[in-house]
Chains A and B, each alone.
Chain A
Amino acid sequence: MVIFSVYVVNKAGGLIYQYDNYVPRTEVEKTFSHPLDLVLKHHDDKVVVSFGQRDGIKVGHALLSINGVDVLGKNTADGKDILEYLKDPANYPVSIRFGRARLSSNEKLMLASMFHSLFAIGSQLSPEVGSSGIEMLETDVFKLHCFQTLTGIKFIVLADPRQSGIDTLLKKIYEIYSDFALKNPFYSLEMPIRCELFDQNLKSALEVAEKAGNFGAGS
């Protein structure tokens, strides 16, 4: 049972706090000969696999390093375009590491404001009167839980689908936020939270929740 990450979004949709509690490693390194049997393409300043899943390398995985040297976006460490580099048979055999691309802080800001609007649309398209926005969003590998306070701040927790006790955790995070962020004289409202006590208390609350909530087999 794991809790993946925590997001706090202010009432304007800005991300004011983000913490990754657990990031599963999904990286595969493999040696390839010419020609490459994967189809790669540029996407969002990265080189990603667009076709040809094999040996744990999945479509959507980004190219992370070549011959053990980390790449810089869509260029190799010495500034050459990766796709051009991989076209040249002289560079083979080559060892390439693929994995899920980590979210950059810009992407996290974007996703937070995206959820802010999805939350509002979810409430507008409701077939019932007086519905809130999205409180829980489920996929096959994670569940997103969202708690909106009366003042409009959203606390978002990403956890394993089988993790229980998230409602209590969300209330607890709200409590920690009120105690350690709002009561901090150096904290200005709606701005990113940079309080050490908030961090510490949040981390221990996550640990407690991970130990307590445990439903179903498999972990």
Chain B
Amino acid sequence: MTVHNLYIFDRNGSCLFYNEWNRKKQAGISKDEEFKLMYGMLFSIRSFVSKMSPQDMKDGFLSFQTSKYRLHYYETASGLMFVMNTDLSVSNARDTLQHIYSNLYVELIVKNPLCPSSQTLDSELFSSRLDSFIRSLPYYSPRAA
């Protein structure tokens, strides 16, 4: 039970926010490159899924899992993307991501006139609130591994 990391992208693909909690393996490339790769992957998954789908979709892509982790995806109508990696025991984190959007992002970034919402978020209040929110999640418990 653990949360690995969290990415927030805007609709143009720039990474607004990144934080990690229990990440054991780095991608082996610079963070900038990693954000581009991650956004590129999500972008391709979106188009892949919409073509592959046998029926019309409402929410579209929700999550994927590998043998070691699960990636949860939430996209707002305005194109913001919230991506969280957890371990496999977390089956659905949609509410969590929705909460981060509506109660943290909207409240602390959108409603803060000093925070331009089109570049990297450097609001300390947002980072600390988000950090304590993630740490208080029922499935956040860093194991001493």
Q: Which 4 A-B pairs have the closest CB atoms?
A: A127-B4, A131-B68, A128-B68, A132-B67
In A43-63, the 8 Å CB interface with B consists of 58, 60
Number of A-B contacts (CB under 8 A): 118
Is B66 a contact partner of A139 (Cβ separation < 8 A)? no
Interface secondary structure of A, over-half rule: loop
- How far apart sit A111 and B54, CA to CA, in the bound complex (Å)? 14
A126 and B68 form a contact (CB under 8 A): yes
Residue of A nearest to B69 (CB): A128
A137 to chain B: closest residue by CB: B64
User: Which one of A31-39, A78-86, A116-124 is at the interface?
Assistant: A116-124
Chain A residue nearest in CB terms to B72: A138
Contacts of B131 in A (CB 8 A): none
The reply on B61 being an interface residue by CB < 8 A is: yes
Q: Which of B23, B45, B54, B57 contacts A140 (CB 8 A)?
A: B57
- Is A14 part of the binding interface, using a Cβ–Cβ cutoff of 8 Å? no
**How many Å lie between the Cα of A26 and that of B57 in the bound state?**
12
Partner of B37, one of A22, A124, A138: A124
Q: Which residue of B lies closest to A114 (CB)?
A: B48
B interface list, Cβ under 8 A from A: 4-5, 20, 22-25, 27-28, 34, 37-38, 40-41, 44-45, 48-69, 71, 85, 87
Nearest chain A residue, comparing its CB with the CB of B28: A124
- Tell me whether A129 and B66 are in contact (CB under 8 A): no
B122 CB to closest chain A CB, in angstroms?
Answer: 24
Residues of B within 8 A of A4 (CB): 54
Take A100-B56, A111-B52, A128-B25 as given contacts and tell me if A140 and B62 are in contact as well, using a CB distance cutoff of 8 Å: yes
The residue of chain A having its C-beta at the shortest distance from the C-beta of B61 within the complex is A139
For B50, the chain A residues whose CB sits under 8 A away are 60
The contact size tier of chain A is: 35 or more
Partner of A141, one of B27, B57, B66, B87: B57
On whether the beta carbons of A122 and B64 are closer than 8 Å, the reply is yes
Q: How far is the CB of B56 from chain A (nearest CB, A)?
A: 5
The distance in angstroms between the C-alpha atoms of A117 and B48, with both chains bound, is: 11
* CB < 8 Å neighbour of A142 from B25, B34, B45, B54: B54
Contact present for B52 and A144 (CB under 8 Å): yes
Report 22 cross-chain contacts, Cβ distance below 8 Å, ordered by A residue: A22-B54, A24-B54, A100-B54, A107-B51, A111-B51, A122-B64, A122-B71, A126-B25, A128-B25, A129-B25, A132-B66, A135-B65, A135-B66, A137-B45, A137-B49, A137-B61, A137-B63, A138-B62, A139-B49, A141-B54, A141-B55, A141-B58
